[in-house]
Chains A and B, each alone.
Chain A
Amino acid sequence: MSILRRPTSLFRPRRGPDQSLLTEHRALIEDIDRRKLLRGAVSLGALSMLTGCNIAEQSQVQSALRTVSSFNDWVQARIFDPNKLAPTYSVDQVVKPPRFNAYYEIEDVKPVDLASWKLELSGLIADKRPWSLDQIYAFPEQEEIIKHICVEGWDYIGQWSGPNLRQFLTRIGADLTAKYVAFHGQDDYMESIDMASALHPQTILATKYAGEPITDPFGAPLRLRTAVKLGFKNPKWVRAIEVTNTYQEGFWEKQGFNWFSGL
């Protein structure tokens, strides 16, 4: 019984490690990283010589697999039910702080200057005037306690609040028949999602976590949180929103991850 009632998964600690440890041991970590880089460079070179695989053949396989991945995007868009709600959880199941994840380490997070921050709008939007943080805070807030599921396989329950994306897009006069909404992060991270997922009732522009403004490592002041996509489809430190009919590969799709990545 007690096992079943645990708020998070059986195999993850309830709390993340104390992040101050990272700053304390920064020098050591960087040193280890340098060694890893060296080792990686050596073994990658060695590997490419040892396998005897020719590069052209490799990229043919890769392009075939990416074609299948695009087909899977199409299939997932058909499976997607715009009215199907993701399970929600109770406040006592919320993990605090949220789990940090980015393509770089937590000590490399560059905090956004909140005073000068503005949310830029571009593409198929009638009113492209940028939004200040105060304006965003004044927008009606929606709270959701949902599971964040990472493509790697871990998950945690988080409590997010902020403007509902559909309401926000409606307010700025976005073309809701456009195909994609792209989110540009301060850290040159970009991810685009399909319009149907953008308009899902559980897709919000989160400004708060567990009732408090989102802190720097987790995307302050604004990040996307949608219950219908894998974690990496939720850019943090968002500085611009673009509504478009042009497909754009996001940061992780360029590395080979699936674009739709719907849950």
Chain B
Amino acid sequence: MKRMHPAVVRIMHWTNAIAMVIMIMSGWKIYNDEVIFGFLHFPDAITLGPWAQHGLQWHFFGMWILGLNGLAYLIYGLVSGRFRRLLLPISPREVIREALAALRFRLQHADLTHYNAVQKTLYVGVILVIILQVISGLAIWKPVQFSFLTALFYDFQGARLAHFFGMVAICLFIVVHVSLALLVPKTLLAMITGGPRVDDDPAARASSAPASNM
């Protein structure tokens, strides 16, 4: 019997959390050096590094943690079947129904081992955004060597813009994710201790899956 969140997943989750904080806060520092929107400056108190160059140092350090950890997570998720088991399938009708329920604070998450449709959408969504963020990041870092990536975003400024909105999307995810985790503290605890034990046998799992989510 395995834990719902095996140790390797927990380690990767918290590594990613740290990397994300480094990337976002140092990114804000870099952004401040040449703002995209005149009305938006990030206060120094929430940026990383005293000057832009230190923000860049942090960003180009954090990218290795984020990139390597993210790659390990994707490979693990695909090979172990975790993605297929926990994140798929996503039915649009369910997403709408459960999103409406969530807005009325009636969304159930009694069974930790099963993600509801809203969770699935958010998790798949943020994984895709982070992948896109790596691509736009590479497009900004190497607009000549990886000019084919930069071209995906029209040009260098397009890549900067995409990188900015990717950050916004991730920040929104973090707000929702952390709020919900705090509202249902046992989910937070599960990501620390591993959570309930789950059966490895798919047949047994299928029969024990709660009908309410089907």
Contact = CB atoms under 8 A, between A and B. Distances in A.
Interface residues of B, number: 26
A84 B144 CA distance: 8
A151 B145 contact: no
A73 to B, nearest CB: 10
Nearest to B147: A87
Given A79-B145, A86-B144, A227-B144, A10 B157 contact: yes
A80 B145 contact: yes
A256 B53 contact: yes
A257 B33 contact: no
A153 B154 contact: no
Nearest to A256: B53
B14 interface: no
Nearest to B62: A68
B98 interface: no
Contacts of B52: 151-152
A263 B157 contact: no
Contact of A149 (B30, B57, B60, B156): B156
A65 B54 contact: yes
Given A69-B57, A87-B147, A256-B51, A262 B142 contact: yes
B53 A81 contact: no
Interface of B: 30-31, 33-34, 36, 51-54, 56-58, 60-61, 64, 142-145, 147, 154-157, 160-161
Given A152-B34, A153-B30, A256-B51, A262 B58 contact: no
* 6 residue pairs, one from A and one from B, having the closest CB atoms: A9-B157, A256-B53, A153-B34, A152-B34, A65-B57, A263-B144
A255 interface: yes
Contact of A256 (B34, B54, B156, B161): B54
Interface in A231-263: 252, 255-258, 262-263
Contacts of A153: 30-31, 33-34, 36, 160
A33 B70 CA distance: 45
Interface residues of A, number: 36
Contacts of A150: 34
Contacts of A79: 142, 145
A154 B34 contact: yes
19 contacts: A9-B155, A10-B157, A11-B157, A66-B57, A68-B57, A69-B60, A79-B142, A84-B144, A87-B144, A149-B143, A153-B31, A153-B33, A153-B36, A154-B34, A257-B53, A257-B56, A262-B144, A263-B144, A263-B145
Given A66-B57, A69-B60, A153-B34, 10 more contacts: A9-B157, A11-B36, A79-B142, A86-B144, A150-B34, A153-B36, A228-B144, A255-B53, A256-B54, A262-B142
